Amino acid sequence: MHILHVVGARPNFMKAAPVLRAFAAHIDVSQAVIHTGQHYDAQLSVVFFDQLGIPRPDVNLHVGSGSHAQQTAQVMSRLEPVLLQHAPDWVLVYGDVNSTAAAALVCAKLQVRVAHVEAGLRSFDRSMPEEINRIVTDHVADLLLTPSSDGNDNLLREGIAPERIHLVGNVMIDTLLRLLPLAQSHRVSGLPDRYALVTLHRPANVDEGPFLRDFLDTLGDLSQDLPVIFPVHPRTRRRIANLHLARNGKNHLHVTDPLSYLEFLALQESATVVITDSGGIQEETTFLGVPCLTVRENTERPVTVTLGSNVLVGRDLHRLRQEIQKIVNGRRPETRVPPLWDGHAAERIVSELLSLDTLCQGLALAKRATGSSTT
């Protein structure tokens, strides 16, 4: 069996890494990694691959940045000849970036079987480009591999056949569990005992100057009681520079460059609270039991709210201050880890694909045998 993994952004690699490793244990499976180049950070790329323990991509489409339409079109046009050349048995796509939806569409038109890892997530907010990508991908994919039971419910509600849907668990947690011991050796020295860790990158939060300014002021105020560490996403840094927003002068707000996965995971594990608008961080903090305040009105990962440590505060900075104060005062709710977030999701994915491949081979043999007996 020949598998192609199509990835387009750093979170995709974190999801693909355990699946690549699980397939590598099967000598009858060959694999290739196709990097669309949708997101590329030259400074962090090499160390990122090394830390995840995955090979460099076999093919890089070098799509680069652009509008959503431009990126999607470029991925489709550049990926098609690669698929025709490789003739894979399965293509695996991950998450909800433009590359994911584009690859799924190309596979559907070429009649190449495609499996969506992290299927079924819904924010029910179509103003988010990722929501459109999730819906499109799920409705053209042949196999939908969900991280939590709400994903199954969403897909069934949309009329997708139950036999296409398989609950396998969360591959992000596979990566976290494998690398957490190593992350502990990447701890930043001189950290305070208690601190808030912040990430912010979504356009709705960083493209609006007044909100971004108020958010930074809120962090500055917070830092007087709880030191704040803010690794600034390149998009956010550009917005701050373009809007001429000066760095807050209060000396407990520590703004840093982007961190490697291991460095950030080490910070996350020990944080008093994490403030974010990232989907993946909602999952990681839920597993780690670290309080998470999400600066979004909705989430495609509701299990992190119902079972985990996540609280949606929206863009209400007064609410953000209130929730931080609760955490600082020791008021942390009890949390649980969602089912199948156990470090074995990739093994279940491999089992599903191998079983389907065996079934398809058996059906093909039976069809040929039936055809020959009637001639």
Using DSSP, state whether 22 is helix, strand or coil.
helix
What is the C-alpha separation between 149 and 128, in angstroms, rounded? 22
The encoded tokens of residue 337 equal 């880890």
Residue showing tokens 């707000």: 253
User: From CA 163, how far away is CA 157, in angstroms rounded?
Assistant: 14
Distance between CA 38 and CA 31 in Å, rounded? 21
Check 139, 186, 201, 233 and give the catalytic one: 201
Q: How far apart are CA 23 and CA 151, in angstroms?
A: 24
* Residue 265 half-sphere exposure toward CB, CA atoms < 13 A: 26
Contact 197, 222 (CB under 8 A): no
Q: Is 201 a catalytic residue?
A: yes
User: Whole-angstrom Cα distance, residue 19 to residue 28?
Assistant: 15
Alpha-helical segments (H) within the chain? 10-24, 42-52, 68-86, 98-110, 129-140, 149-157, 171-183, 203-206, 209-222, 234-242, 261-270, 279-288, 303-306, 317-328, 345-373
Residue 54, CA distances (Å) to 69, 109, 280 in order? 30, 29, 19
Beta-bridge partners for 253: 228
Active site residues: 201
